Structure 1
Amino acid sequence: MKVFKFGGASVNSVERIRNLAGIVKLYNNEPLVVIISAMGKTTNGLEKVVESFYAGNRDEALQLFEAVKQHHLNIAKYLLVTHFNKCLSQLTDFFTEVEWLLHDKPVREFDYYYDQVVCVGELLSTSIVSHYLNETKIENEWLDVRDLVRTDNNFRDAGIDWAVTEERVKNAVGAGSPAIHVTQGFIGSTDDNESTTLGREGSDYTAAIFANILNAESLSIWKDVEGVMNADPKLFPEAQLIPELNFTEVIEMAYYGAQVIHPKTIKPLQNKGIPLHVKCFLDPSLPGTVIHRKNIKHLPPIVVIKENQSLLHLNSQDFSFVGEEPMSRLYQLFGKIKLRPNLIQTGAISVQVCLDFRAEKIDQLASEAAGMFDVQVEKELSLLTIRHYNTEILEKLTSGKNIVLTQRTKETVQVLFK
């Protein structure tokens, strides 16, 4: 059993869906679960639908949703012939599901409506892909993942009920059914059959859940890049492919802000030692990157730059040492405001905290911390992180910068600069 996950970029056009089918066809005789995200910018479009609906602009919400409908219908018309009517019937059911909701007035919290509407993106894309695969003689079974992945009701960041989910996934993807199953990432449902979403990188996480439960041979995440690179190629044209990584290194990279694989995706794979392949859907022949448990030596420097950073200078009000109690209260504030520090440096009577700049949250943190510290906020900074650094690359990337703060360990150096 293999698990494949295709992101929105891999299904954002007729040509890309045909390309996906070509990749799946290479594995046509193998047990395969194919998990697919919403097409292209569909999630963004559906978010605008929810925002208009919740603001009381029903007509605007319906109009925005109509654009989403027509886009998917056009894709289906170009792709399908013999299976178009079956696909249209299924799409219409999903359209109706949302339109019924949009004709009501909001009486619950925003996050609830967000999940009920946004989840339809994955349902639409997988329906079209599944029918297209069947039309091209790639037999598959479409599954509504909301019938399989049971969650709590923490809308927009739902937690998984692993026991129920495991039983349902194993029953659905069992012997005697087609070798290929197509289903959705990112979504699930509660005990009351209310749709939920799994938060950031939820589609990758769904794929990892299926791989874990099914004891998959591997999970492959198909992207529009060659594999995992040691830097953002848009910023560093000389960025190079990293052929092999281990789970720990990927978690470290993600912690420092690299756009790789989210740690919550890694854990279900790490628990069972299931390798993760990051592959290029534009050229499946490329080797990509494999992520596994093995120790990897001699990694190149891995560079991450985070822009729009702020630095809070927190100084003791009475020149007493910054001890356990104020630091504990400071961390409670981080949790309360939902801010994660990117770097903390402590001195005898001061603390410096680097965070992503979110004006409202930073203002709240500064205001509440003012009860314990004298607070100053420095803005418009950049945070450079280099894993496996050497003197040459550190000097090259910091040359001419106005350095505000530096922190380093044996493996990692971080430099905050203007």
Structure 2
Amino acid sequence: MKVFKFGGASVSTVDRIHNVGNILQEYNGEQLMVIISAMGKTTNALEKVAEAFYAGNTVESLRLFDVIKQQHITTAKYLLVTHYNACLAKLTDFFTEVEWLLHDKPSKPYDYYYDQVVCVGEMLSTCIVSHYLRETGIANKWIDVRDVIRTDDNFRDATIDWTVTEAKTKEWVQPLFRENNIAITQGFVGSTDENESTTLGREGSDFTAAIFANILDAESLTIWKDVEGVMNADPKIFSDAQLIKELSFAEVIEMAYYGAQVIHPKTIKPLQNKSIPLHVKCFLDIRLPGTIIYNKQVKNLPPIIILKNNQALLHLSTQDFSFVGEAPMSRLYNLFGQLKIKPNLIQTGAINVQLCMDDKSDKTDQLAAEASQLFDVQVVKNLTLLTIRHFTKDLMNTMLSGKNILLQQQTKETVQVLYV
């Protein structure tokens, strides 16, 4: 068995959905567990629905959701003839699921409503793709992943209950392959034992695919993307970005940790535990070799460049000129946990701490306010964090020419520089 994951870009248009069918035809006769994300920018659009609802603007939330509804209905009309009515009936069930909630008044935390609304994107995309495949003669079984992936109730970043999830996968998913070669389900989504929808964090579809690959003892996991494979830099920014043909699990974990938008950070461990290779391939040209990621040391890697914009730097200084000791640092790390903040860079001095983080305005301001009880706080925004793995001095000099450097850290393998 192989596990395939198709991201939002691979199902963003009618032509690209046709292409998914063509790819699956290339693997005719093989058992495939297929995980599919929401179409295109649907998740972003659903986030705006959730925001409007939570702000108390019912009319606006319903208007925004109607736009999403019509987009999916239109896609179904272009793709389907004989299976259109069955698909529309299923889509309508999902539309009703959200609209029922939007007519209510929020009484729980925002993250709860976020998950109930945003998860529908994956339901809609997989419903349409599954019916399209059937219409073209590709038999498949559609699965609601919320019946299989069990999580806790940490909404927007739920933790997997592996014991229950494994039992449900073996009970409900494995038997399907006795009669079907292809199963279609959703990434990014799970549910609590109270049947409340949860999400696994943005880009969590990769993680979903790895969970199934692990439990089903898959031969491999393939993530289909709109690039050749894993590149050493973002090709949209660096025209000379080059393909990396092979990587170790350890290297990819490092890349993900520093912010490379390649693989969801939680994806690797379930694969590494069972030595399941991960392929990153181009859905636009399946003949390209792509990248293989596995339990093997890979040497002579090129410099790997990761840029993160929209960074904030917090200068924290002790209020009485005492040393930054264990007690204030412990309280600071507790704040990170409470606010669900992952610092990108921390540097400590005798009486100060400098902290770089993604500037999510609500969390940046919240952290600054809470930290002001322990420190004098200054905040600088609109910064860029550059990380280079396997750096060279020449490359550093080129990339940092003319930049105003505010913070820099360096190890043997990695340099990080925060600049204006």
Above 0.5 in TM-score?
yes
| Structure 2 equivalent of residue 390 of structure 1 | 392
| Structure 1 equivalent of residue 406 of structure 2 | 404
CA distance in 1, matches of 2:375, 2:117: 44
Aligned residues: 418
CA distance in 2, matches of 1:108, 1:346: 38
| Structure 1 equivalent of residue 252 of structure 2 | 250
Code of the aligned partner of 2:13:
S
1:15 aligned counterpart, secondary structure: helix
Code of the aligned partner of 2:133:
L
User: Per-residue displacement from partner, 1:52-84 (whole Å, max 9, x unpaired)?
Assistant: 333333333333222222211111111112222
1:206 matches 2:208: yes
2:73 aligned counterpart, secondary structure: helix
1:227 aligned counterpart, secondary structure: coil
Inter-CA distance 108–374: structure 2 relative to 1 (3 Å threshold): closer
User: Per-residue displacement from partner, 1:298-344 (whole Å, max 9, x unpaired)?
Assistant: 00001112223233333344444333233223222332333322222
| Structure 2 equivalent of residue 4 of structure 1 | 4
Worse-matched range after superposition: 102-111 or 197-206: 102-111
Inter-CA distance 108–347: structure 2 relative to 1 (3 Å threshold): closer
User: Per-residue displacement from partner, 1:86-138 (whole Å, max 9, x unpaired)?
Assistant: 21222222222223333333333333322222222111111111111111111
Aligned pairs for 1:163-174 (under 5 A) are 163-171=163-171, 172-174=173-175
CA distance in 2, matches of 1:98, 1:104: 10
Worse-matched range after superposition: 175-184 or 304-313: 304-313
CA distance in 2, matches of 1:242, 1:166: 33
Query: Is the 2:204–2:264 Cα contact (8 Å) retained in structure 1?
Result: no
Query: Is the 1:28–1:180 Cα contact (8 Å) retained in structure 2?
Result: no
Query: Is the 1:54–1:110 Cα contact (8 Å) retained in structure 2?
Result: yes
| Structure 2 equivalent of residue 25 of structure 1 | 25
CA distance in 2, matches of 1:85, 1:91: 10
| Structure 2 equivalent of residue 345 of structure 1 | 347
2:380 aligned counterpart, secondary structure: strand
Code of the aligned partner of 1:211:
A
| Structure 2 equivalent of residue 107 of structure 1 | 107
Inter-CA distance 367–103: structure 2 relative to 1 (3 Å threshold): closer
Aligned pairs for 1:261-300 (under 5 A) are 261-300=263-302
User: Per-residue displacement from partner, 1:229-288 (whole Å, max 9, x unpaired)?
Assistant: 111112211111111111111111111121111221111111111111111111111111
CA distance in 2, matches of 1:102, 1:321: 51
Query: Is the 2:62–2:102 Cα contact (8 Å) retained in structure 1?
Result: yes
Worse-matched range after superposition: 140-149 or 107-116: 107-116
Unaligned runs of at least 5 residues, structure 1: none
1:176 to 175, 178, 181: 178
Aligned pairs for 1:27-46 (under 5 A) are 27-46=27-46
CA distance in 2, matches of 1:352, 1:104: 43
1:308 aligned counterpart, secondary structure: strand
CA distance in 1, matches of 2:45, 2:322: 52
Code of the aligned partner of 1:30:
E
1:296 aligned counterpart, secondary structure: coil
CA distance in 1, matches of 2:57, 2:322: 55
Deviation for aligned residue 1:359: 4.0
| Structure 2 equivalent of residue 228 of structure 1 | 230
Deviation for aligned residue 1:163: 1.5
| Structure 1 equivalent of residue 317 of structure 2 | 315
CA distance in 1, matches of 2:74, 2:182: 26
Aligned pairs for 1:315-394 (under 5 A) are 315-394=317-396
Code of the aligned partner of 1:206:
T
CA distance in 2, matches of 1:409, 1:216: 37
1:86 matches 2:75: no
CA distance in 1, matches of 2:116, 2:163: 24
2:310 aligned counterpart, secondary structure: strand
Kindly report the root-mean-square deviation, in angstroms, between the aligned alpha carbons of the 2 structures.
1.9
CA distance in 1, matches of 2:59, 2:365: 36
CA distance in 1, matches of 2:100, 2:368: 44
Inter-CA distance 64–375: structure 2 relative to 1 (3 Å threshold): closer
Inter-CA distance 359–47: structure 2 relative to 1 (3 Å threshold): closer
CA distance in 2, matches of 1:28, 1:87: 24
Inter-CA distance 95–361: structure 2 relative to 1 (3 Å threshold): closer
CA distance in 1, matches of 2:49, 2:366: 29
User: Per-residue displacement from partner, 1:383-409 (whole Å, max 9, x unpaired)?
Assistant: 211110111111111122222232111
Worse-matched range after superposition: 8-17 or 343-352: 343-352
CA distance in 1, matches of 2:4, 2:345: 35
1:286 aligned counterpart, secondary structure: coil
CA distance in 2, matches of 1:81, 1:65: 25
Deviation for aligned residue 1:360: 4.1
Query: Is the 2:309–2:384 Cα contact (8 Å) retained in structure 1?
Result: yes
CA distance in 1, matches of 2:149, 2:381: 42
Worse-matched range after superposition: 258-267 or 345-354: 345-354
CA distance in 2, matches of 1:193, 1:148: 11
2:307 aligned counterpart, secondary structure: strand
Code of the aligned partner of 2:305:
V
Aligned pairs for 1:60-79 (under 5 A) are 60-79=60-79
2:323 aligned counterpart, secondary structure: coil
CA distance in 2, matches of 1:106, 1:374: 36
Worse-matched range after superposition: 201-210 or 58-67: 58-67
Worse-matched range after superposition: 339-348 or 405-414: 339-348
| Structure 2 equivalent of residue 156 of structure 1 | 156
CA distance in 1, matches of 2:281, 2:369: 46
Query: Is the 1:189–1:195 Cα contact (8 Å) retained in structure 2?
Result: yes
Worse-matched range after superposition: 223-232 or 317-326: 317-326
CA distance in 1, matches of 2:56, 2:317: 46
CA distance in 1, matches of 2:418, 2:197: 41
Deviation for aligned residue 1:198: 1.7
